[in-house]
Structure 1
């Protein structure tokens, strides 16, 4: 039964064609799923449904395919260092001091920041996974949480792997209101784990149909030994069985044509993180080649200590600019292309068919774009290509007004509806003070 009707001058359902619907309606049923998305003129008659007439553009929630959002309390630390030094000398020592309460407050702020910019789903790889889930459920986000594990002094990858197995076996792969939470596996990388650990991860994930979220070929130097021994990281992952299941390859910067073919054949998803890769001078991922091979590619922010924000609109612009520069072609990646990557493409990279677009049966994760600003002074009665270009290149996150997850409003006029943002910010400030001095 339809419980809510949203009507807007423009709706972008993010169907495969990237359609632009004028004077359109999105109906949401009692379960929080889309029941209808299309022109108002052909919308079904509904009785007793709450009706909301919006003044701007309604789009699906953005999908952040790679993040460590609990790192908001580490923002700015080691900001001018290359990846290896940044990790070894700054971030990992700070994370070693991090308490569950620090991760919880950091994640709450990360959830708020993402919702305020229109990100409704994020794929998180981090420690203290239970508190990450608590934070997301409190703020209202949709979350794929992959507890991180690596083979380093003091770490016990077998224990973490067993705990993920137990968690999924007890609570199921997805749980929470509107299936808001999905549990995944988070092996950090091939250079921080032995093949034995990667093979064990593949076996556990395959047995449960779970996603494996892993850093892949992020910088030239980080995986030199892996490449020397196995030819490439993707070849190693194929050897241990990780390409046989659901795999999300974060970064995937340094890939050969053969690596891309492996990903394409396996259906491996890629999280493209142009902002973080550029800031850490890790390189530019072969986006054009990945897309040409039909590899599912979404966009990721990476962590707020390496990017340093959680703004997928910025990643859209950077992805388009880098792609155009690499191809010497201003048409290499259009505004429509980037919007599809940030929504439908992100869902495909995660192996999800229930998010990423406003189509019947999918969760009603939606973002209302305010057009009462300088960016849309020309109005909405403009050609579709110009409207999409204005949305991506000029408006971006600052135009996000309201956000719904599973049909529930979680952001109202730019502010979180469930939690006190200022209280969360104070909590993060206290955590940052402790982490900087402990």
Structure 2
């Protein structure tokens, strides 16, 4: 009898230990891949569209939350290098906790907190966060671990938010608006809304990697002229003729890469906005698609989102620096005045100067850093625009996608070729510099992946 009781007690102890281990280890597999981070980014994109942020400002909104999530990944895994001490002005601090931390949840908490601090419609992000948190709790993350992990992630977020407040963005909100000039070569507001120049002081924002906004300064645009034999006239005439002879494929390409958050529609006396994704948002979507296709874990996803968003952020600073230096007239204005007063571009002209092409700079910068992360031959099933009523397009590499994004601006009738060619060169140069200057993987992890 005594031995039987001992056996029962021993069996109960074994079961108890087993249950204890199950409770300890099961929740570790609640978040393994990057799905939660990608979902958070998609919600941020929705809010960026809802709040109608400009392409440069959108690039800022994407970057800081992604950096915060990545910093948690770097704390979780010594195979990743912190960006503190690598990005301009990003000071090193130590993060410690006496509690047990579930790092994938902490990264998500960091992303949500910084993302909420970047936008207007905060409740939309908070609601998305609470739904994600509810799902994660129901999957078995212990209450104490959940709370300590969220607190830890928000601690990292606070440091990133403090860092963001020193990039001159908030000060730039009170800078003077752009004053339209009367010189014949200069940019003029275009129909139908005749909006004022967007973000004329964006070159005053602190870059992450570049030393100065004009570090990758482009050659000046072609000398302005109205002489029909001049090079500038020929470049305008090229845009004019391309639009007259567009193929269906060229139109599809132009619409796919439009990404103009300021598109205004006019019906009779009614004017209303059509909300669209930004160029940076499109490339962050591609980054997410690539991460998922490569089956990256949550740390690899955090790296991809951070690395891509950093490149996009600096790309818009470099591009806008040139836009408001050259303040070049758009094809729509020039062609209507000197070639054909009834001519219209396929796409609506965005509200800022022509040179260089923002799509060309940003797309090539993003493509180069993504190529570093995933390799030169990486098939892309780009469904980014499906949510906005456009079909899927497929590419054999990031560079192929960037080339199409760049030339789409000619097909849309909103850029001359030099803005596309020189913008692409600027983006590639910036990305090459970033790839040399910034490291996200330790040498040990890099060798293992090779």
Q: Which TM-score applies when normalising by structure 1?
A: 0.22
The structure with more strand, counted as a fraction of residues: 1
The structure with more helix, counted as a fraction of residues: 2
